[in-house]
Structure 1
Amino acid sequence: MEIRQTLRPSGAASALEPVPASHSVTVGFWFPVGSGAETESERGFTHFVEHMLFKGTSTRDARTLARQAERAGGYLNAFTEKTALCIHCTLPSDRWPLAVELLADMAFRSRFDEEEFSKERDVIRSEVLAARDDPEEDAADEFHARVWAGHALARRVAGEPEDIERIDRTELLRFYRENLVPSNLTVTAAGRFDPDLFEAALDSALEGVHGGRRMPTLPRPDFHPGAWFRSTRAGQVYLVSGFELPAGLSREDLAALDVLTCAFGESSSSRLFQNIREARGLCYSIGSSYVGAREFGIFYVTAASSPSNFPRLWDMIRVELEDLRVRGLTEEEVSEAAAHIHGQDLVAADDTETRMRTLARQVLRFGRAEPYEVFCDGILRVDSDRVSAVRDMIFRGPLGVLAYGRTGYRVLRSLGLSVEGG
């Protein structure tokens, strides 16, 4: 079915995808505010706000919010990224109005109770420290701090422990009221519902909520290439490397990038997995991926190995990167990767949360969305020429490399890396 997109006078936008055969509905409320939109004095605010949205509203306490969703057979959840905050709810299809009601209540009527605020500070502090104990996550954060140095995107999404300690409830409430407003809201929904009734329910839920100011576009960060190491007690060496993605990639470019990423390192039949892990046993985990928004992004190659295997691992990754840069993918690799992605997307089609997220990513990036099946079929139109064009856009640029773990400075220098940091 076609996507229904609506822009309200308040600035709130919605994109609805009815799925008549589904037994569930997922609704997401998206705001273009994340750690990348925070000022120096607001570090950690967005993630803290996310937590406080679950701690009670003017009509429901925290327990009631959770119980109402769960008694209806569904769940509430949320996440904060560098560029967005999303709260979402999945319910059986005959109970979807409750999802709209709960999310609107949380988004616009949260109380930020002082006692709950104090307790949640301790919870978030524990979460931040736990992330530091995860070497993969900590290495990724360290990499972003290097390549995006000087930009808000370089910061950890949840902030540092000292940021959490100094957050003031009054300032956090101000941040919430300024940024979680209808003018910044995009609602996406997928599942079995009547779009006319959904629009009416959403209008009712937003009644009396003022539009507010529109969040400005996040400026593109400068990409700082280089090679760094961080010495830790981790048992393995964690490698995070990446190239800057160009701004303004089209739908067709992103589909080609999906194919390139899959064939190079995102699947178990990919080059990196087969040539480095399977054929040589140099590591347990290795892969390629990418993240980004309309104006920025990074193509990653990541891996983890024992300290003794790391020199050979890095040599082999360099060989594979150079081969990809010079020769690209074969037509067979392009065809097989496209078929793999298409099949996975079709398998995920029964999950309304997947559909809701796919809808949101399209709207937030391009301003409009295609039906899920049309979006999925786009991958089958990718050809070798488009993949080669995207490859050339990415791999002509410089590389950022971080080695994290028990790796000596001299070892990295011996691999041809001009290393900074420690």
Structure 2
Amino acid sequence: MIEKTTLENGIRIVTENVPAVHSVTIGIWVESGSRHEHQAQGGISHFVEHLLFKGTSRRSALEIAREIDSVGGVLNAFTSREYCCFYAKVLARHLPLAIDLLADSLQSSIFDLDEIEKERRVILQEISMVEDTPDDLVHDLFSQTFWGNHPLGRPVLGSRESVKNMSRDDFLAHLEGFLVGGNILVCAAGDLNHDHVVDRIARVFGQMAAGARKQVHSHPDYRPSLSFTRRDLEQVHICLGTRALPQNHPNRFSAYILNTILGGSMSSRLFQTIREEQGLAYSIYSYLNSHSDAGALVLYTATSTENAPLVVRMMLKEMQRFKVEPVSRAELKAAKDQLKGHLLLSLESTDNRMTRLSKNEIYLGRQPSLKQVLGEFEKVTAESIQRLAHFLFQDDYLNLQLLGQIEEKQFPLLDLTLG
């Protein structure tokens, strides 16, 4: 059973009681991420996320870790382009402790100067780690190229320059605008009572200022590009992408199925053609990267320098195939069964149920039933996928990012086109 309550200060609380489980996962979702930051402070949401577990007026960082460890729980956080999430998973009887730890960390962190400097070094190492991992770096490079100067194109971690220049005052000012009731969503799933959760959240967050939700003020444009980044690597890492649908688009179920058939699994067209039939790559897949107002469909692989042009042509051919040839009945059924199976299996985890509650609230403003979602998958047809392919797969939106020992003059695929 899913229930929702909104406190007077605007904090929304959505819970789902899940029978026959022993755990509860609770998340404090703050609707502010890297796309809401000024360029000079790129990465500040992520930096603050790190600092909020580094000591409060009541607990040291070690005491926070010991308290959650002593009950066998998990306490963690992550930052994305549109939100930050601070969450805990515990046995149901320890939910009051989890709420207290989250509230204490979010509202009473002291931002000790020594801890700030330590975390600054940690984040700089995190940036270096990404730069040293080409199969991570190429996705950041693709985002920068695809979204251009729009905030969606900036790395969530920020840049070395922005991370080095942030001060304690910057963090406190960011937190003041970040932690307001209208910007906060609390979601919990598991062995819980909704009214008890609401009561505890009201006690620890009830005095928080109301404020307003962060608004998206600029929408990205899509334009074609071809980008080469030279690195001394054994392989060329490839990201090929085009526009996709935002999170709440009515045709999103067709997009999920199209992506599944294209590169969503080992039985997908990309995997079977490029890896299994031709042996040209080890890892190859596609994914949807959707936001509140825009999205990208991205294909990734890595291959030898000499085979890179051929592999890109094969990727383009598989995209074009959706436009000229309806998917078969067998492919469509298999993709639907795969997605429905993944969804049903995910519901066995209170973590996934909590995340599902939050994303539905953030992007849809409602909680579709499982029956409704499964019904939307069933409505997808070969014709609706083909119409979507014509909408998405256009030359005006194609972006190609290559990372490795390759230069534009060495790359014969100058006619980057879907026809």
TM-score > 0.5, shorter chain as reference: yes
How far residue 370 of structure 1 moved from its aligned partner, in angstroms, is 2.6
- Residue 283 of structure 2 corresponds to 285
SS in 2 for 1:97: helix
Q: Would you say 1:272 and 2:270 are equivalent positions? A: yes
Q: Would you say 1:79 and 2:78 are equivalent positions? A: yes
Q: Is the 8 A contact 1:237 1:405 kept in 2?
A: yes
Q: Would you say 1:237 and 2:240 are equivalent positions? A: no
Q: Would you say 1:342 and 2:324 are equivalent positions? A: no
- Residue 259 of structure 1 corresponds to 257
User: Normalising by structure 2, what TM-score?
Assistant: 0.94
Whole-angstrom CA distance in 2 between matches of 1:333 and 1:361:
28
SS in 1 for 2:299: strand
Which string of whole-angstrom CA distances, capped at 9 and with x for unpartnered residues, describes residues 57-103 of structure 1?
Answer: 22222112111111111111111111111111000122222222221
Whole-angstrom CA distance in 1 between matches of 2:373 and 2:64:
34
Distance 1:258 1:197, change over 3 A: same
Which string of whole-angstrom CA distances, capped at 9 and with x for unpartnered residues, describes residues 312-333 of structure 1?
Answer: 2112112111111222422221
SS in 1 for 2:341: helix
- Residue 67 of structure 2 corresponds to 68
- Residue 314 of structure 1 corresponds to 312
- Residue 101 of structure 2 corresponds to 102
Long gaps (5+) in structure 1: none
Q: Is the 8 A contact 1:342 1:380 kept in 2?
A: no
User: Normalising by structure 1, what TM-score?
Assistant: 0.94
1:4-23 paired onto structure 2 within 5 Å: 4-23=3-22
Q: Is the 8 A contact 1:315 1:415 kept in 2?
A: no
Whole-angstrom CA distance in 1 between matches of 2:316 and 2:413:
14
- RMSD across aligned C-alpha pairs, in angstroms? 1.8
Distance 1:218 1:288, change over 3 A: farther
Whole-angstrom CA distance in 2 between matches of 1:163 and 1:68:
33
Q: Would you say 1:147 and 2:146 are equivalent positions? A: yes
How far residue 229 of structure 1 moved from its aligned partner, in angstroms, is 0.9
How far residue 375 of structure 1 moved from its aligned partner, in angstroms, is 3.7
Percent same amino acid at aligned positions?
31
Long gaps (5+) in structure 2: none
Q: Is the 8 A contact 2:236 2:305 kept in 1?
A: yes
- Residue 214 of structure 1 corresponds to 213
- Residue 133 of structure 1 corresponds to 132
Q: Is the 8 A contact 2:245 2:290 kept in 1?
A: no
How far residue 38 of structure 1 moved from its aligned partner, in angstroms, is 0.4
Q: Which amino acid aligns with 2:192?
A: F
- Residue 416 of structure 1 corresponds to 415
Q: Which amino acid aligns with 1:14?
A: I
How far residue 379 of structure 1 moved from its aligned partner, in angstroms, is 2.7
Whole-angstrom CA distance in 2 between matches of 1:353 and 1:410:
48
Q: Which amino acid aligns with 1:130?
A: M
Whole-angstrom CA distance in 2 between matches of 1:125 and 1:53:
18
Q: Which amino acid aligns with 1:15?
A: V
1:176-215 paired onto structure 2 within 5 Å: 176-215=175-214
Q: Is the 8 A contact 2:247 2:290 kept in 1?
A: no
How far residue 411 of structure 1 moved from its aligned partner, in angstroms, is 2.7
Q: Which amino acid aligns with 1:243?
A: T
Q: Is the 8 A contact 1:359 1:372 kept in 2?
A: no
Whole-angstrom CA distance in 2 between matches of 1:385 and 1:22:
41
Whole-angstrom CA distance in 2 between matches of 1:276 and 1:68:
49
- Residue 362 of structure 1 corresponds to 360
Q: Across the two proteins, how many residue pairs are aligned to each other? A: 416
Distance 1:381 1:191, change over 3 A: farther
SS in 2 for 1:241: strand
1:392-407 paired onto structure 2 within 5 Å: 392-396=390-394, 397-407=396-406
SS in 1 for 2:330: helix
Whole-angstrom CA distance in 2 between matches of 1:70 and 1:372:
34
Which string of whole-angstrom CA distances, capped at 9 and with x for unpartnered residues, describes residues 300-321 of structure 1?
Answer: 1111111122122112112111
Which string of whole-angstrom CA distances, capped at 9 and with x for unpartnered residues, describes residues 359-418 of structure 1?
Answer: 111111111113456545643443333333332331245211111111132232445349
